[in-house]
Amino acid sequence: MNRNLWLLAVLQGLFLTNNVTFIAINGLVGLSLAPFGWMATLPVMAYVVGGALFTGPVAAAQARLGRQRAFQLGLVVGIGAALLCAYGAATRQFWLVCAGTLVAGYYAANAGLYRFASAELAQPAAREKAVSLVMAGGLIGAIVGPNLAARTRDMADAPYVGAYLALAGVALLAMLLLAFMRFPAVTRRSGPAVGRSVLQLMRQPVFLVAAVAGALGYGVMNLLMAATPLAMQQCGLPFSDAAFVLQWHVIGMFAPGFFTGHLIKRFGALPVMGVGAALNLACIAIALSGVELHHFAIALFLLGLGWNFLFTGSTTLALTAYAPEEKDRAQAALNFFVFATLAVTSLASGVLVTTQGWSWLNVGSLVPLLLVSGALSWLGVSQRRVAAPAVPR
């Protein structure tokens, strides 16, 4: 593992710091500024909707500018978005905060490519470990993000302005680190686009399963994670318990990054993804067994582990489904599916847990998980049939 990979892992951690802080404070800012209570989560939604909308422009920037300059552009946009949110919070302009978080989606879509870039910085035989290592960098966000939000929320006269300003500082630090990195040079091509279209890529079973498993696995994780604080409040548990549960959930999401790549290298992406789906099913079983603190804590920790196995595995699996000249459109499509699913689950989470309850929300989560399990089984059987030698008559 070279220096560039370790720096990219730190960049991933700084992005997750921004991501966790944005999610932690946007709903609270929305609640204090929104003209109607039901609009409180619009800044949260705007962030993931922006991520989906900007996947195309981000892919175009990556193709034209190359990794380094495109990542720098994403960080510049992230700094501007954080400053716009700070100004909106300071002047109590709700729609300006929503606009800032929407623009921040460009940074999110851009940083969503860090995991793919990691594979380009490693030797072919080590790309599974490279993807896993960069994912492990998210531990920085798990530790720093909540503390940053808590320590900076009252630094300015208006609430949370200091937190947004701190996010601009985090992105600025990431830009400084990025200056010490080197990515493979971009090859500019003239004339019509080369390689297959997204529709043609989607016709490949490997690419389709990677997209479905990555998006639905992330969607289930977001659905249950976002609903957990509300469910724990409904069960009479204090906010400190919810913070404890979420902290261990995020640790479960990123700590396996130090060994997931080794497991994928040894056993293959599909078996590891299958274990991820099984861990998520175990999460639901435990969540349905009770509503005490230990039920929430164990369930959410398993949910984080399952997400890591599914998402790291789907990223590694997708790398085998497209050629180098197709990477920008392929990676943009994969990220679009993820952000679009997050947008839907961000809205659905609060609505479902408050109207249907925690138990039914978990029961409903079985549907996408069973779809993922079925897709993995189908692809595994198909690959074994192709690999099986013909039996002589």
- Distant-in-sequence, close-in-space partners of 326: CB < 8 Å, separation ≥ 6: 195, 196, 201
CA distances from 293 to 6, 222, 229, 349 (A): 36, 20, 12, 20
Sign of CA dihedral 358, 363, 367, 373: positive
For residue 127, what pLDDT is reported? 83
> In this structure, what are the phi and psi dihedrals at residue 186, rounded to the nearest 5 degrees?
-80, 140
- Distant-in-sequence, close-in-space partners of 387: CB < 8 Å, separation ≥ 6: none
Burial class (CB in 10 A: 0-12, 13-18, 19+), 349: buried
For residue 158, what pLDDT is reported? 80
For residue 240, what pLDDT is reported? 75
223 and 344 Cβ atoms separated by less than 8 Å: no
| pTM of the complete model | 0.79
CATH number, domain 198-387, options 1.10.760.10, 3.40.50.1240, 1.20.1250.20, 1.10.150.20: 1.20.1250.20
35 and 92 Cβ atoms separated by less than 8 Å: no
One-letter identity of residue 213: A
If one counts every other C-beta atom within 10 angstroms of the C-beta of residue 78, the result is 29
For residue 389, what pLDDT is reported? 62
Alpha-carbon distance 128 to 381, whole Å?
22
For residue 377, what pLDDT is reported? 95
272 and 313 Cβ atoms separated by less than 8 Å: yes
CATH number, domain 1-182, options 2.130.10.10, 1.20.1250.20, 2.70.98.70, 1.25.10.10: 1.20.1250.20
Domains of the chain, by residue range, sit at: 1-182, 198-387
Give residue for tokens 């984080």: 304
Could you list the pLDDT tens digit for every one of the 393 residues in the chain? 588 889 999 999 999 888 878 877 777 788 788 887 667 778 878 888 898 899 989 989 998 998 899 999 999 999 999 999 999 999 999 999 999 999 999 999 999 899 888 888 888 888 888 888 888 888 888 778 777 777 777 777 787 898 899 999 999 999 999 999 888 776 555 445 578 888 999 999 999 999 999 999 999 998 898 788 778 888 888 867 877 887 788 889 888 888 998 999 999 999 999 999 999 999 999 999 999 999 999 999 999 999 999 999 999 999 889 988 898 899 889 989 998 898 888 777 777 777 888 899 999 999 999 999 999 999 999 888 877 665 454
- Taking Cα atoms as reference points, which of 103, 85, 102 lies closest to residue 94? 85
For residue 30, what pLDDT is reported? 80
Asked if the domains 1-182 and 198-387 are classified in one and the same CATH topology, the answer is yes
The DSSP annotation for 65-117 comes to H-HHHHHHHHHHHHHHHHHHHHHHHHTT-HHHHHHHHHHHHHHHHHHTTHHHH
One-letter identity of residue 159: P
- Distant-in-sequence, close-in-space partners of 392: CB < 8 Å, separation ≥ 6: none
Would you state the structure tokens that stand for residue 162, as one six-digit string?
Answer: 């200091």
